[in-house]
Chains A and B, each alone.
Chain A
Amino acid sequence: MDVTVAEFIRRTVLKVPRSHIPALLQAWGFLPAARLQALDVRPLKEAIAEAVVQLCQENSASIKEAAVLDIVYNHTFQNKRVWTVYQMTKATGGETDIFDFTAFKRKFKRRIQSSLINVTINFKEFEDNAIWIRIAWGTSYTKPNQYKATYVVYHSQTPYAFISKSINRSNLPLLCQALIVASNYGDIREMELRSHCLDSLKDIVFKRYSQTFQTHHPKPLQERNVAPENVDPRLIQEDKSEKERIQRVNQEVFGDGPQPKLEFAQYKLETMFKSSPKMVNVSERESFRCLVKFSSPHLLEALKSLAPAGMADAPLSPLLTCIPHKARNYFKIKERKGVLAAGLVSP
Chain B
Amino acid sequence: MSVVRPFDKLPVLNSAAILLVGTDEDLQRQLAQTILKEKKDFKISIHLATSLPLPAERDHIRPRIDLIVFMINVQSKYGFKNIEASLAHVDANFFLGKVCFLVTGVGRVNHCSVDMSAVRKLGDVYCSPLIFCELELEGIRISTAQRLLRMLQICAGHVPGVSALFFSSLMRSSNDE
Q: Please report A residues at the B interface, Cβ cutoff 8 Å.
A: 230, 232, 234-239, 241-243, 308-312
Q: Does B24 contact A (CB under 8 A)?
A: yes
**Known A-B contacts A232-B36, A234-B36; A310 and B50 likewise in contact (beta carbons under 8 Å):** yes
With a CB–CB cut-off of 8 A, which chain A residues contact B55?
A: 238-239, 241-242
Q: Tell whether, in the assembled complex, residue B58 and residue A311 are in contact, meaning their CB atoms are under 8 Å apart.
A: no
Quick check: A236 and B25 within 8 Å, CB to CB? no
A-B contact pairs, 9 of them (CB 8 A): A232-B36, A234-B46, A235-B45, A236-B45, A236-B48, A237-B48, A239-B54, A311-B23, A312-B78
With a cutoff of 8 Å between Cβ atoms, the chain A residues found around residue B76 in the complex are 311
Q: Contact between A239 and B50 (Cβ–Cβ < 8 Å)?
A: yes
Is B102 positioned at the interface, with any CB of A under 8 Å from its CB?
Answer: no
- Judge whether B48 and A238 touch: CB under 8 Å: yes
Q: List 16 extra interface pairs beyond A235-B46, A311-B24, A311-B78, CB under 8 A.
A: A234-B44, A234-B46, A235-B33, A236-B47, A238-B19, A238-B47, A238-B49, A238-B54, A238-B55, A238-B62, A239-B54, A308-B25, A309-B24, A309-B26, A310-B50, A311-B79
Residues from 2 to 56 in B contacting A, C-beta threshold 8 Å: 19, 22-26, 29, 32-33, 36, 43-51, 54-55
CA distance A243 to B28 in the complex (A): 14
Interface of B is mostly: mixed
- Contact A310 to B46, CB < 8 A, known contacts A234-B36, A238-B55: no
Of chain A, the residue at the smallest CB distance from B32 is A235
Contacts of B36 in A (CB 8 A): 232, 234-235
B19 neighbours in A (Cβ, 8 Å): 238
B23 x A236 contact (CB < 8 A) = no
Residue in A236, A239, A312 whose CB lies within 8 Å of B51: A239
Beta-carbon contact of A310 and B25 below 8 Å: yes
Question: Which residues from chain B contact A243 at a C-beta distance below 8 Å?
Answer: 50
Give every chain A residue within 8 A of B24 (Cβ-Cβ): 309-311
Whose C-beta in chain A lies nearest to the C-beta of B28? A310
Chain B: number of interface residues, binned into ranges: 20 to 34
* B25 closest partner in A (C-beta): A310
The reply to whether A236 and B26 form a contact with Cβ atoms under 8 Å apart is no
Count of A-B contacts judged by CB separation below 8 Å: 52
Residues in chain A near residue B25, CB distance under 8 A: 308-310
Q: How far is the CB of A315 from chain B (nearest CB, A)?
A: 15
Bound Cα distance A241, B55 (Å): 9
Docked complex: B119-157 residues within 8 A CB-CB of A: none
The 10 closest A-B pairs by CB, nearest first: A310-B23, A238-B49, A236-B47, A310-B25, A238-B54, A235-B46, A234-B45, A238-B47, A237-B48, A239-B49
Inside 8 A of A235's CB, which chain B residues have their CB? 32-33, 36, 45-46, 48
Q: When chains A and B are docked, how far (Å) is the Cα of A234 from the Cα of B38?
A: 13
- Chain B CB count within 10 A is highest, among A232, A237, A242, A309, for A237
What's the minimum C-beta distance from A341 to chain B, rounded to whole angstroms? 22
Q: Which of A234, A238, A308 has the most chain B CB within a 10 Å cutoff?
A: A238
Shortest Cβ gap from A309 to chain B (Å): 6
Q: Look across to chain B and name the residue whose beta carbon is closest to the beta carbon of A237.
A: B48
Closest to A234 in B: B45
Q: How far is the CB of B145 from chain A (nearest CB, A)?
A: 13
**Closest A-chain residue to B21, C-beta based?**
A238
- Residue on B nearest A308 in the bound complex, by CB: B25
Most buried by B among A241, A243, A310: A310
A333 to B163, CA, bound (A): 57
Contacts of A236 in B (CB 8 A): 45-48, 62
Chain B residues, Cβ within 8 Å of A312: 78
Q: How far is the CA of A243 from the CA of B32 in the complex (A)?
A: 18
